[in-house]
Amino acid sequence: MPCILLLLSLSLVLGTVKAEDEYVEGEVLVIFKPNISADRANTALGKHALRIAEHYDRISSYDHRVNGLVREKGRSTAQLIASLKTDPDVETVEPNYIRKVSATPPNDPNFSKLWGLQNTGQVVNGTTGTSGTDTNFLAAWQLAKSSTDEVVVGVVDTGVDITHPDLAANIWLNPAELAGNGVDDDGDGYIDDINGYDFANNTAMIKDSGDHGTHVAGTIAAVGKNSIGVIGVAYRAKILPLKVSSDGNSITTSATLAAYNYAITLKQRGVNIVALNASFGGGSYSSTEAAAITTLGNEGIIFCAAAGNGDTNGNGVNNDTKPLYPASYTNPNIISVAALTQNNTLASFSNYGATSVDIATPGTNIYSTMPVSMANTITSVSVGTTAYATQQLTYSGATPLAGITHPIYSCGIGNTGQFPSGVWGNIALIQRGTSTFAQKVTNAMNAGAVAAIIYDNVTESLGTGWTLGSSGNWIPAFQVTLATGNAILASLPATGTVINANDSTQAYQYLDGTSMATPHVSGAVAFAALNFPTDTMAQRISRILDHKTAVATLAGKMTTGGRLNLLGIVDTDGDTLPDWWETDYFGNMTQSASGDPDHDGFTNLQEFLSGNSPSSASSHLAFSSFGRGVDPYENSIMLTFPTIEDTSYQIQWSNNLSTWSTLGATILGTGAPAQVIDDNALVTSPKRFYRLGLISP
């Protein structure tokens, strides 16, 4: 077994150090010339009234040079370098540079379209943006607290497609209600409200009556880092669908009042609803609605309301002189939201108001989820490797996107008695004949078939008018030509695949409006609640409004004169340390990123990034264990170290401490207490050294 030296370096220097890099003021790293002993090094430093604060003895031993950290807070780094660089015993003196973990974009494939989360000046929907005009999403989530608390945002809107693969996992689930039993199990006055309720039609069916609510929901909390579609501002939050429109457009106040009342009921029952999103408005004041919003505030629920999309000509209106409700109510729990463009200007259609509108957020070319039923339909029939032209019969049933793959059985012209027993659970092949398509498919269903392929009885191209007559619980049914039917018939026995499904990978769209801006703020409220669960409602509002990014062109247009800044929510004092972390460890926010209160050689920022305690010298980035690996000849090494979620680590190895190589790929932390890496390369050297670090930009 080779000898192992653990060289713990928080920051891996992976390239040439730039002069503009950040460094710890009052500290320098010193390397003395070869064969300068430790005693002579200390003597040399003493001449400058300095001493080694931290000696890297193992590195010094193998490098044959004394390496160490020199710290003198009474002098600047520049002064220390000037004092030591001319010393004849010193080979190198340089700042103690600060590295920062890269904020890596999530793996959601359409993240680049979400300019409101990261704007690099990219072209989105034909418009080139201005770099930096975004909500600081990546930097904010880099400082986010790991939390399993459920935080819920109610979407008061047209409904939500809860089956959307980018939303389903983040739809709120009512643990006190049993699905489909027709009973109000939790006694809240609503039957089968498993995921929310439709207050326009008095039913638990919350399917989107248009596309608006599903789009809003995606911006708030589309599932993140799932390699699908997009990511929500608060991708760890839950969505509570509160449907208040039956036609996808109009909303009655009575329906919204019922939705507010329901949210209050759930909140009082213990559901952690932190915000309601209200991306709608009208010109009439309602005392009843204003009072209801007051009650929401009394329960700690922030009400995020769209400022409105201007007049009939699409020109923004001043809400101070022409109010739009509910955004223009004066309740202290309301945040009124205007829309911002990719180029940091107020959208031309967006309402504004120096006293009645609070903040602006991205509201043009906003890419988010839409109901899967609106996506293009994929219809196909294939047998083996051969794909055939096909069309669905009108009112045909749907398949999963991957389709249905089963053996195909010939069933004549689909009369009763022509279905073999083997068709049960499989696909029926039927020729067009004397009975209707509906009768053929009904007979196939009665025989247990899970899909039906009907081929023509004359030589014609695929036509129109093949229908099952009316909607119903039909199995998937497909039309093919006579030639195709005969080809399939000749190939039997064979297995086929049929697909009749909306392409959920395309169930996304661009929309504009203050309706699209508002869910960014609702997501921000959820983000604040995830990081600061004990904050009052007023404190959450303050985190959002008092720590915005100022925008000159918005001055005088809204109370804050700025755009949403997620980073300001989590780091209100701008010291690069999250407020919650400082408070958890120190009880205050007076720490500095470069501070080292436990004197273990790791700064506060380094301790945070590596998930360690800044108040315990024994807690720092390190391998937790090592031992024999899984190589059958025991010629491998098992390295174990703790990780935190979404932080990237790297291991390097060396045989001589001069030349270092990377061991394997970058390791993305999962939060597991023990990440195990096996170095199973044959080791021919009598010694092998390892060092562990965070990836630096």
Residues with catalytic annotation? 157, 212, 382
Q: Give one DSSP letter per residue of 609-660, joined into a string.
A: HTT--TT-TT-SS---EEEE-S-TTS--EEEEE---TT-EEEEEEESSSSS-
Angle CA 618–620–623, to nearest 5: 100
* Residue 200, helix vs strand vs coil: coil
User: HEC string of 140-151?
Assistant: HHHCCCCCCCCC
Q: C-alpha distances in angstroms, 103 versus 24, 79, 137, 138?
A: 21, 33, 10, 6
Q: Which residue(s) pair with 550 in the sheet?
A: 562
Omega of the bond prior to 326 within 30 degrees of 0, cis? yes
Are 32 and 65 spatial neighbours (Cβ–Cβ below 8 Å)?
A: yes
Rg (CA), the chain: 32
Question: Does the bond joining 632 to the residue before it have cis omega, within 30 degrees of 0?
Answer: no
Contact 448, 424 (CB under 8 A): yes
Gap between the Cα atoms of 531 and 510, Å rounded: 30
Helices (H) and strands (E) in the chain, counts: 14, 33
3-class secondary structure, 68: strand
Query: How far, rounded to the nearest angstrom, does the alpha carbon of residue 97 sit from its chain's CA centroid?
Result: 31
Distance (Å, rounded) from C-alpha 559 to C-alpha 569?
Answer: 18
Give the max Cα distance, the chain: 108
Residue-wise burial string across 299-320, b where 16 or more C-beta atoms lie within 10 A, e elsewhere: bbbbbbbbbbbbeeeeebbebe
Half-sphere exposure of 425 (CA within 13 A, CB side): 1
Distance, in Å, from the CA atom of 430 to the CA atom of 274, rounded to the nearest integer, reads 56
**Spatial distance between the Cα atoms of 622 and 624, rounded to a whole number of angstroms:** 6
Instruction: Give first-to-last CA distance, the chain, whole Å.
Output: 35
Distance, in Å, from the CA atom of 413 to the CA atom of 431, rounded to the nearest integer, reads 5
Q: Does an H or E element contain 521, and which?
A: helix 514-531
